[in-house]
Structure 1
Amino acid sequence: MGQRINVMGYRLTASKCLGLCLVLTFVMGCYLAALPIRYEKEALPNPVRQRITSKELPKKRLAVLVPFRDRFEELLEFVPHMYSFLNRQKIPFHIFIVQQKDNNRFNRASLINVGFKYSQKDYDYIAMHDVDLLPLNNNLKYDYPAAGPVHISSPQTHPKYHYDTFIGGILLVKREHYELVNGMSNNYWGWGLEDDEFYVRLKDAKLTVMRPSNITTGIDNTFRHIHDKTYRKRDMRKCFNQRDVTRRRDHQTGLHDVQYNLLNTHTVAVDGLNVTVLNVELLCDKSRTPWCQCPEPVKPVVKKSAGKK
């Protein structure tokens, strides 16, 4: 009996100790919970950075395609001006100078086709841009033409051309629309009419050409036209059956069959501003467009009559 009492006594003492420990643990936990928690940033393993997600979609990228041959004085003005103008609009862009390096007559449309092929993977839309036409009005927006082509140099503001279907000078076209109409015709060697044919392509594809609105400037102060016609005469000769062919809509040639060799590419800095120069050799099928090389007219030789000095 005495041993059982001792055992029972032992059990009674142990249970009291256990209860006391539980009470002390509870009191200590409450005390620690009331203390301020301090930690050093260096003591945190692998800190997690806050990830910021923008709801704005990235802007579309613009390839400015400049068909070019021997116009270096104009290029020196064009590049700094366009960098300043487009940077004010915060448009991601790059300028591609598509330079024709062959003995054929100048072919603006084919050069634009080549420039488009070169840039189409990295750029969402193009500006078909003459090197001698500088925009002055900041309300001329070079934004992505989602709804259809945008003619920046409208007939109401272009310094020289004012007919309703004119779309030359500066035209914005998104990549999908340029592919839809198969680019531009390759039949236009020499000056003129390639943009008129492109207008018909856009019309046939039911694409409406839009123009800037609310432009308060006019033909004298919307653009600076730096072409000197006395110094650089336009090649307006018509050879063989060129006049007849180029007055009709071309359903055969275009982006898919432009024939050329890309000789090389260079990054060139103009006033510290980089542009990409594509040196291009255009190939001519003389059985189809013999006027790619139009011989200069032979001037008649005036013979002096006898007896006259």
Structure 2
Amino acid sequence: MGFCLPGYKTLRRGKYVLLLFVSLSVLAWIATFSGEIVKSAQIFSASPQTLVQADSLRDQLNTETAAPNQIETPTPKAECPKESPLLQGAVKLSFESSLTLKDVESKNKGVTDGEYEPSDCTASQSVAVLIPHRSRERHLLYLLNHLHPFLQRQQLHYAIYVIQQAGDATFNRAKLLNVGYLEALKDYSWECFVFHDVDLVPENDHNLYVCDNQPKHLVVGRNATGYKLRYKGYFGGVTAMTKDQFLQVNGFSNTYWGWGGEDDDLRIRVELQKMKIVRPPADVARYTMVFHKRDSGNEINKDRMRLLGQTPLVWKKDGLNSCTYKTMLLERQPLYVNVTVDIGKP
């Protein structure tokens, strides 16, 4: 028995040592495993921030990449100055017999279908220039030659409408201008209308073709009258009225066939609406009248004084609201819009 005891004790010690070694190994493995869990937990807890950073970086890269391909919004144009820097003042007019329509077109490349708009600023007003016409091609050519650069120097958005009376009936300037107003508004909501005789050419571009808060008379003087106003109440030749002012007076009368009376009728309509006629300074509102003989079919209207006496009674029903006509041709030429109409007979 005593022989066996020492060996037994040795065996027991070996078991304890082995058990201790295994325990230590297990503890070491647990510690290692726990560290990996902690690391994983740390990585997991940081991942939302990492994703946010990645999203921000991606958005930044997308923005930088897309920017060159985006279409930039045009910068709005500034308003044109109240007084155009292009104005020249009084200029010497010339009327060359060799002038052609192609010559005028070549000098006005910025005009398309009779319309022009400044490229570097926004015009203060949009203006429709209405010219009643029949058998005055040479006068029209001279007027277009001077009027286009004149209006461009004023930095206006404008269009020129030439209203031609078809047939050989007595000429009716007033009704043609009513037609021009109605037809022009089909193209654009023009703010201002300038009613312009074909034989009057402006001399000074400080005579602005814009409308005022009152009806405006632009012809204070012409060469044919020594540059003096024809008479105190004169409201003919070239006048400017806003769209609303002209509508308020119901436009021109349609009943003035032949020369004279229709401009005085318009003045009476203006006065009946308690509006006041304004004029530019006399040294600015100067025109050259291109000489011509009285046209056949535009003889003096001998009935004009009787018609003027009826204006206060009939203006509400004789004008824009009773203007009937038939459009024969509407043609957009380079320098103007040609509107040829049948307006009937007296």
- Aligned amino acid, residue 169 of structure 1: G
Question: Cα 1:12–1:205, aligned 2, differ >3 Å: closer, same or farther?
Answer: same
Deviation at 1:44, TM superposition (A): 3.4
Q: 1:141 aligns with which of 208, 232, 247?
A: 208
Q: 2:233 aligns with which of 165, 168, 190?
A: 165
- In structure 1, what is the equivalent of residue 319 of structure 2? 254
- In structure 1, what is the equivalent of residue 216 of structure 2? 150
How many Å separate the matches in 2 of 1:162 and 1:14?
A: 107
Q: Is structure 2 residue 178 aligned with structure 1 residue 128?
A: no
Deviation readout 1:59-111 (Å, 9 max, x if unpaired):
33211111111111111111111111101111111111111112321111000
- In structure 2, what is the equivalent of residue 278 of structure 1? 339
How many Å separate the matches in 2 of 1:248 and 1:175?
A: 25
Question: Cα 1:197–1:281, aligned 2, differ >3 Å: closer, same or farther?
Answer: same
How many Å separate the matches in 2 of 1:107 and 1:230?
A: 14
Listed as ranges, the gaps of 5+ residues in structure 2 are: 1-21, 48-59, 80-121
How many Å separate the matches in 2 of 1:160 and 1:232?
A: 28
Rg larger in structure: 2
How many Å separate the matches in 2 of 1:20 and 1:263?
A: 87
How many Å separate the matches in 2 of 1:160 and 1:192?
A: 19
How many Å separate the matches in 2 of 1:278 and 1:175?
A: 19
Deviation at 1:148, TM superposition (A): 2.1
How many Å separate the matches in 1 of 2:180 and 2:149?
A: 22
- In structure 1, what is the equivalent of residue 283 of structure 2? 216
- In structure 2, what is the equivalent of residue 6 of structure 1? 28
Q: How many residues align?
A: 264
Q: Is structure 2 residue 173 aligned with structure 1 residue 108?
A: yes
Deviation at 1:18, TM superposition (A): 6.5
Q: Is the 8 A contact 1:102 1:282 kept in 2?
A: no
Question: Cα 1:242–1:82, aligned 2, differ >3 Å: closer, same or farther?
Answer: closer
- Aligned amino acid, residue 255 of structure 2: N
The TM-score with structure 2 as length reference comes to: 0.65
Q: Is the 8 A contact 2:250 2:320 kept in 1?
A: yes
The TM-score with structure 1 as length reference comes to: 0.72
- Aligned amino acid, residue 220 of structure 2: S
Q: Is the 8 A contact 2:209 2:240 kept in 1?
A: yes
Task: Please provide the CA RMSD for this pair.
Answer: 3.7
Identity %: 25
- Aligned amino acid, residue 280 of structure 1: V
- In structure 2, what is the equivalent of residue 188 of structure 1? 256
Q: Is structure 2 residue 329 aligned with structure 1 residue 264?
A: yes
Listed as ranges, the gaps of 5+ residues in structure 1 are: 26-37, 285-291, 293-309
- In structure 2, what is the equivalent of residue 70 of structure 1? 135
- Partner secondary structure for residue 31 of structure 2: helix
Superposed counterparts of 1:35-54, under 5 Å: 43-44=65-66, 47-54=69-76
Q: Is structure 2 residue 115 aligned with structure 1 residue 93?
A: no
- Partner secondary structure for residue 280 of structure 1: strand
How many Å separate the matches in 2 of 1:20 and 1:256?
A: 85
